[in-house]
A = this chain, B = another copy of it.
Amino acid sequence: MRKQGSPSLQGEPPGDALSRKPITARELARMLGVSQSAVSRAFTPGASIAADLRERILKYAAEVDYQPNAIASMLSKSRTNIIGIVVSDMQNPFYPGLIEKLSRSLQRIGLQSLLFNITKGSNLEEQLSALRRYNVDAVIVISATILSGSTLSWATEGRPAILINRVIEDTNLSCVACNNVEGARAIADHFHRQGARRVAYVAGLSHTTTNRERQNGFVTRIAELGMTLSAQIEGREYSYNAGRRAALEIAARKSTDAIFFANDILAIGGIDALREEAGCRVPDDILVAGFDDIPMAGWPHYNLTTFRQPVDEIVRVVVEMIEGDTSALLRAATTIRLSGELIERRSTGAQPDAP
């Protein structure tokens, strides 16, 4: 149907190499006097083909610059070698780093990353419908945004899905998350060691599991240690400005020794507000800690004490889950908790190690 007619009648199309269509396995096979199956097998590791034939085909393929068409391959095999990555907030510097490492690791084992940037508010199903149509092999969700388990199940439609830093129980979704409770308790312990007694918590997105775990872990440990929770600010976003506003609110009451922000971006906004707007000194007047350990937390001006997420390990585990038997992921959704590390810096009066 397409482009029948004699191949080179209308003269060389303008634009030179531009409209030249890539060579196909059949053409390559005909040139070599072998069958198309042979070409396909030459490119399939472990296929039943003689070593010398394979070599001859691959050599010639390299010469004429043949590469198997991935689309056709996807159609006949069940695999697409594409992983869908669902993201909603690339502004928080924690995520770009994670996405970068993740996509690099996937590339290393021959998987590509198809990015789905969902916008909260508008029609989620519509945004995710492409996720179904593209037949991705698996889905990785790196999104703090509201995304119900049922919507997600619909979108992934029987494909393995792995949530990073979000935990949903009721569905067949796997989760890989940092041990938020452990981290929050470590911050509480650290505050206590540094002498704080009246402490505050600043939430990110209140309803997210991540926030709830950090909040509960912190508040519980605070109580165990006999400290006072002097303030607790609800939040609607993980952002610099939200941190600023929360810090000002807490500073106005003048009854807090230390603030634990649900993540680093909040904490950094908080530090700036405390110093520039509230006239407080950090850590002299008030201690501040965050969560994640984004690059800015290490900048000298902030020097933010934080709980470092094990990004490399998270990536490793996720990639292993995908690399392994993905159908196993479907049968038994697993939740994996990874340990992080308390990074003590000057924002809580600690003396950090030399860089």
Interface residues of A (CB under 8 A from B): 2, 14-15, 17-20, 22, 67-72, 74-75, 78, 80, 82, 85, 90-91, 93, 95-97, 99-100, 103-104, 107, 110, 112-117, 119, 127, 129-130, 132-135, 157-158, 172, 240, 268, 272, 275-277, 295-296, 299-301, 327, 330-331
Nearest CB in chain B to that of A154: its residue: B65
Instruction: Decide: A114 and B117 in contact? CB cutoff 8 A.
Output: no
Smallest beta-carbon distance A100→chain B, Å: 4
Instruction: Decide: B107 and A100 in contact? CB cutoff 8 A.
Output: no
Query: Which residues from chain B contact A296 at a C-beta distance below 8 Å?
Result: 296
Considering the chains assembled together, what is the distance between the CA atoms of A112 and B116 in angstroms? 7
Q: Which of B117, B272, B275 is close to A104, meaning CB atoms less than 8 Å apart?
A: B117
Considering the chains assembled together, what is the distance between the CA atoms of A275 and B277 in angstroms? 20
Instruction: Decide: B96 and A91 in contact? CB cutoff 8 A.
Output: yes
Considering the chains assembled together, what is the distance between the CA atoms of A100 and B327 in angstroms? 31
Nearest CB in chain B to that of A82: its residue: B114
Instruction: Decide: A22 and B157 in contact? CB cutoff 8 A.
Output: yes
List 11 other contacts, CB 8 Å, given A90-B97, A91-B295, A113-B115: A18-B158, A19-B327, A67-B129, A71-B135, A75-B75, A90-B100, A91-B96, A96-B96, A104-B119, A107-B127, A272-B299
Smallest beta-carbon distance A354→chain B, Å: 13
Most buried by B among A67, A70, A95, A240: A70
Instruction: Decide: A103 and B132 in contact? CB cutoff 8 A.
Output: no
Instruction: Decide: B69 and A133 in contact? CB cutoff 8 A.
Output: yes
Smallest beta-carbon distance A89→chain B, Å: 9
Considering the chains assembled together, what is the distance between the CA atoms of A59 and B268 in angstroms? 51
Considering the chains assembled together, what is the distance between the CA atoms of A82 and B116 in angstroms? 12
